[in-house]
Amino acid sequence: MTKNKILIIDDEEDIRLTLEELLVRTGYQIQGAGDGIEGLKLLETFKPELVITDLKMPNMSGSEFISKAKNLVPSVDVILMTGYGDKEIVIECLRQGLFDYFDKPFNYQKMVLSVKKCFELRKIKKELSDEKNFTENILNNLHEIVIAIDNQGKISYINSVTINLLGFKAEELIGQSLLLLIPDYDSFNAVAESKESIEQDLLCAVKGGGEKIPMTLIVADFIDNAGLKKGKVLVGRDVRELRKLQLLTYQTEKLASVGTLAAGIAHELNSPLAVVLGYATEIQKIIKESDYNPQKNEDVISYLGMIHKSATRMKVIVSNLLTLSRKSEHTDPHELNINELIKEAFAFHKTSFEEKNIDVGFFLSESLYKSWGDPDQIQTIFMNLLGNSADAFGEITDEREKRVSFTTSNEVLMEEGVAKPVLKIIYEDNACGMSESTVKKLFDPFFTTKSVGKGTGLGMSVTLAAIKAHKGTVSVESELGKGVKFTIHLPAVTE
Ligand SMILES: Nc1ncnc2c1ncn2[C@@H]1O[C@H](COP(=O)(O)OP(=O)(O)OP(=O)(O)O)[C@@H](O)[C@H]1O
Ligand SMILES: [Mg+2]
């Protein structure tokens, strides 16, 4: 067993050696020093737990030594040997945490008893602190939020998991009302006044305001050993990740059920819709070319325009639902001429673009690679982009020249050291653009900023799904008020 270490400092060698001999015999490990300077050095090298020091010594007084020693090693204990008339200094030293003092000449046996008492107390203190550390470690390793409040709702304990999570310092929270962390009165009252264990979803404040963290808390009464109610203990969990997962599951389930339903309905609707669109276009053409009753014809043309617009909208919804329900299975993949698909998609929107005076530019590479996949899905991508721009131009009030454009080109991307030919499609508009938060949610299923009947929020999520199903990528840049730019890459078929 390792022996407890004691340092004895006294310039009177007789006393030092007698004490040393006695304490060695009692079972301690001892080192001696003739003054405070030597004593401080030994404090660092010998690392004693207890120092017995004389008050009056050359070079450094005992009281100066105590204050320096406590600064260096706050846990060290000190017993002081004093002479006659040193009472005031002793009182000062007691304030600094002196363990005991003896007037010279002292009874050696009493000194040994005091030393024993000192080590017994140190042992108890260490056990208590180990126990506290053990409990503290359990509370922190749980990775749960643990807060205790007193009967007035003031925080009496908070574990470091919670402190780190919320960004406060412990001293900023201890003694403060729990309202600081749960600023919503209803939630605070539900916690503070609960009669039994409750489970509560609430938002916890983070230092500096701003974001609040959703958490689930279980609240229980905090009863001490004497059976007295001391307050409440709150144990909880940060549920941000769980909420995200729940939302994702909900959306996936919703998508799956929409997909199944859509497959049947959308397919049935598609053919009659094509007929309505086709004939509306044809009749428009015939009436434009005839010269019979121009006034009446204009009305008919405008009504047909409306039929056309609504049918186009339905066509986009049906295409989205079909793409969604088919997911990534291509039952019948084709070689794709992307330039043609762009033009075909635009044909559906032509009438509404003309009506809104939106210019369209096609900068299509004549030698564009072919791609491979489902032409309907790819056409759906372009129809969604165009439909969104048409809506976005409706949001601007200034007199700008409205413009959208498609630019296609061939590119070679390096993927893990292998050159991969791809088609690059850039789509741009100069309409209302998007805020940063809209861009973040753009591809989320069911995200829309449009009113009911104007947008399902499926367009961009279907677009992303279709691009991914074709092993392509899409990125978007946008600035509020300035328009959007989509860059799409699709793999090329080269031979
Ligand atoms: N070109 C664009 N300019 C400005 N905002 C856009 C543009 N494209 C998309 N957005 C924004 O992104 C949102 C989501 O688009 P998405 O196509 O997924 O759904 P939607 O257009 O609202 O509904 P649906 O596609 O069913 O008509 C839109 O509501 C709109 O706020
Ligand atoms: Mg859309």
Q: What is the tens place of the pLDDT at every residue in 179-216?
A: 888 877 777 777 777 766 666 666 666 666 666 777 78
Q: Are 55 and 63 in contact (CB under 8 A)?
A: yes
Tell me, using a 6 A CB cutoff, whether residue 449 lines ligand 1.
yes
Tell me, using a 6 A CB cutoff, whether residue 230 lines ligand 1.
no
Nearest CA to ligand 1 atom 14: 448
Q: What is the pLDDT of residue 224?
A: 83
Distance 436 CA to ligand 1 centre (A): 14
H or E element: which one contains 304?
Answer: helix 294-326
pLDDT exceeds cutoff 70 at 294 = no
| Domain residue ranges in the chain | 5-138, 142-238, 246-491
In this structure, which topology does domain 142-238 adopt according to CATH? Beta-Lactamase (3.30.450)
- In this prediction, residue 476 has a pLDDT band, given cuts at 50, 70 and 90, of very high
- Could you give the CA distance from residue 379 to residue 341 in angstroms, rounded to a whole number? 6
- In this prediction, residue 242 has a pLDDT band, given cuts at 50, 70 and 90, of confident
298 residue type, one letter: E
Q: CA geometry: angle at 272 spanning 271 and 273, to 5°?
A: 90
3-state secondary structure of 206: coil
Distance 372 CA to ligand 2 centre (A): 24
Nearest to 485 by CA among 364, 385, 346: 385
195 versus 42: the higher-pLDDT residue is 42
Find tokens 């909900």 and name the residue: 250
302 versus 235: the higher-pLDDT residue is 235
For residues 316-340, give the mean pLDDT. Answer: 75
Q: What is the pLDDT of residue 281?
A: 80
| Ligand 1 atom, smallest distance to 388 CA | 8
Tell me, using a 6 A CB cutoff, whether residue 432 lines ligand 1.
yes
Selected from 3.90.1010.10, 3.30.565.10, 3.40.50.2300, 3.40.250.10, the CATH number assigned to the domain covering 246-491 reads: 3.30.565.10
3-state secondary structure of 421: strand
257 versus 328: the higher-pLDDT residue is 257
pLDDT exceeds cutoff 60 at 333 = yes
Least confident of 126-135, 224-233, 255-264: 255-264
Q: CA torsion 33→37→42→43, rounded to 10°? A: 120
318 versus 414: the higher-pLDDT residue is 414
- CB-facing half-sphere around the CA of 329: CA atoms within 13 A: 4
Rg (CA), the chain: 41
Distance 407 CA to ligand 1 centre (A): 21
Q: Give 485's strand partners.
A: 428, 477
pLDDT exceeds cutoff 50 at 328 = no
Least confident of 21-35, 234-248, 415-429, 441-455: 234-248
Q: Is 213 left (phi over 0), alpha (psi -120 to 50) or beta?
A: beta
DSSP label of 370: B
Q: What is the pTM of this model?
A: 0.52
Tell me, using a 6 A CB cutoff, whether residue 380 lines ligand 1.
no
Tell me, using a 6 A CB cutoff, whether residue 381 lines ligand 1.
no
Average pLDDT over the chain, rounded to an integer:
85
Q: Are 406 and 362 in contact (CB under 8 A)?
A: yes
Tell me, using a 6 A CB cutoff, whether residue 448 lines ligand 1.
yes
For residues 441-449, give the mean pLDDT. Answer: 90
pLDDT exceeds cutoff 50 at 329 = no
Instruction: Please give the share of the chain, as a percent, with pLDDT higher than 70.
Output: 89
Contacts 24+ apart (CB under 8 A), 473-477: 476/439, 476/442
301 versus 345: the higher-pLDDT residue is 345
Q: What is the pLDDT of residue 47?
A: 94
Q: For residue range 49-79, what is the model confidence (pLDDT) as tens digits?
A: 999 999 888 888 888 898 899 999 999 999 9
Distance of alpha carbon 18 from its chain centroid, rounded?
66
Tell me, using a 6 A CB cutoff, whether residue 450 lines ligand 1.
yes
Selected from 3.10.450.40, 3.40.50.2300, 3.90.1170.50, 3.90.550.10, the CATH number assigned to the domain covering 5-138 reads: 3.40.50.2300
| Ligand 1 atom, smallest distance to 484 CA | 1
For residues 166-171, give the mean pLDDT. Answer: 84
Nearest to 469 by CA among 323, 342, 370, 336: 323
- Could you give the CA distance from residue 372 to residue 421 in angstroms, rounded to a whole number? 13
Q: Are 428 and 451 in contact (CB under 8 A)?
A: no
Q: For residue range 114-143, what is the model confidence (pLDDT) as tens digits?
A: 999 999 999 999 998 888 888 888 877 777
3-state secondary structure of 29: strand
Distance 288 CA to ligand 1 centre (A): 33
Tell me, using a 6 A CB cutoff, whether residue 46 lines ligand 1.
no
